[in-house]
Structure 1
């Protein structure tokens, strides 16, 4: 649907010749941006609530630059880039000086407008400090998506009193993201302390039998605590996206 057709459709809505619901369904199917090497989904925010996110790992620098340029031309949204390194940041900074690099989270944000903030909180919890990079990917993503985020790090089950002493903080959160490697028991413990959704993120942190996060993943999937949802290994972004969706549901 080109701009002329879109204008005609909006005029029909104003004149009452078509229903708003019909027009909305048509708009949701609007064209994407064709770059040859990428197809940019400009209307994902309309369908899903959030703009398209750029996963940088494995992409050529010139392709990332081209995607960024195209997105900058089409809207005024903030642009979120995940799994990025300093080289990718320098490449994006050549395109726009609004780029901000969060090295620990491996995230780049092209910040063009202030983040919206919710009154309801997402709490990101880690078992240890080695889990913080994945936790920061979750925390920064959730903030960019418009959420109030609180962090509670290094409260794993090896010193469970550290977690128990923060029970009030756990219970005040609307959604909790737990990030842990090793055996991944943190999610089960947190799930037994709160009445809110818990999204568990297994990390690849651990010794040999951790199998790069597989043991933590299986432990979380087999949790006996109710209300726990599990995402893939090291997928802080996926956890934040789900948490944000839950956090922004109407009361």
Structure 2
């Protein structure tokens, strides 16, 4: 068995020929030592970003640097925030993601831009209420995952029907992530019997996204009935003292239930993404089932 051939040493995966050119320039006096040192540092930085598995995978296009390595690092790809972006820029970003074999999610996209992208790409799903657009290589990749209560999934709960648009953004996010969801609507604290009826189903979820405006009391109330993370999403729904969602935000942040975490106002995407990460971790377990369901007879008040 022949020994492995010796490898040419390199610095930070920079080509040796490039280093030799720099050294030759210094020797000839056409480049100063400090300038050469700066060039070497830049070359090493660029090489590391392009080559290392935890940082690599970018597509530099006019107007954006698409993070194609995020799926490998974080489990899911980069999401496109549509507000403020031109249609042409979004098309270029989507093309880069599709070329890399990734499905795309655009949030906060306006109807005009969504219509233009749908004409450009053959396989899309637009949700006007959520202001989202999902794009994939084929229609099958746009399908909604089938809910199986024995497999990790996320419950999406709204306090009132006026919170529906934020819930729709959450649902579209989970669908893009490939995570099944349970939808529970309009069970705010003004009708407590509605929540009590939903508790058995909620306890089967791996995580719960609770969306509420007004005073924002529902998330900690739900959290007191379950043993899983509750991601609270305050909304701008409500009269003047709601202060555009600030009142429920502050109430949720000061909730005494220890399993409540709070995201930004109207941020259905963020709440769902966090819940989806929890479910995704559990799905990777040996049998694919969630670990946090507790039998009803094990639930006791304190």
Pair in the same fold by TM > 0.5: yes
CA root-mean-square deviation: 1.7
The question of 1:215 aligning with 2:215 is answered no
| Runs of 5+ unmatched residues, structure 2 | 1-12, 14-50, 286-302
Helix, strand or coil: the match of 2:228? coil
Q: 2:125 aligns with which of 86, 97, 100?
A: 100
1:137-148 pair list within 5 angstroms = 137-148=169-180
CA distance in 2, matches of 1:205, 1:185: 13
Which residue pairs with 1:86 in the alignment?
111
TM-score by length of 1: 0.86
Q: 2:210 aligns with which of 152, 167, 178?
A: 178
Q: What is the Cα deviation at residue 31 of structure 1?
A: 4.3
Q: 1:30 aligns with which of 39, 56, 79?
A: 56
| Runs of 5+ unmatched residues, structure 1 | 6-24
Q: What is the Cα deviation at residue 148 of structure 1?
A: 1.1
Q: What is the Cα deviation at residue 41 of structure 1?
A: 0.6
Q: 1:43 aligns with which of 54, 58, 69?
A: 69
Question: Contact (CA 8 Å) 1:188, 1:223: kept in 2 or not?
Answer: yes
Helix, strand or coil: the match of 1:176? strand
CA distance in 1, matches of 2:68, 2:179: 22
Helix, strand or coil: the match of 1:164? helix
Which residue pairs with 1:244 in the alignment?
276
Question: Contact (CA 8 Å) 1:126, 1:135: kept in 2 or not?
Answer: yes
Q: What is the Cα deviation at residue 29 of structure 1?
A: 2.1
Helix, strand or coil: the match of 2:243? helix
Which residue pairs with 2:100 in the alignment?
75
Question: Contact (CA 8 Å) 1:102, 1:108: kept in 2 or not?
Answer: yes
CA radius of gyration, larger in: 2
Question: Contact (CA 8 Å) 2:156, 2:209: kept in 1 or not?
Answer: yes
Q: What is the Cα deviation at residue 105 of structure 1?
A: 1.1
TM-score by length of 2: 0.72
CA distance in 2, matches of 1:57, 1:98: 21
CA distance in 2, matches of 1:238, 1:192: 22
CA distance in 2, matches of 1:236, 1:75: 27
The question of 1:188 aligning with 2:214 is answered no
Helix, strand or coil: the match of 1:219? helix
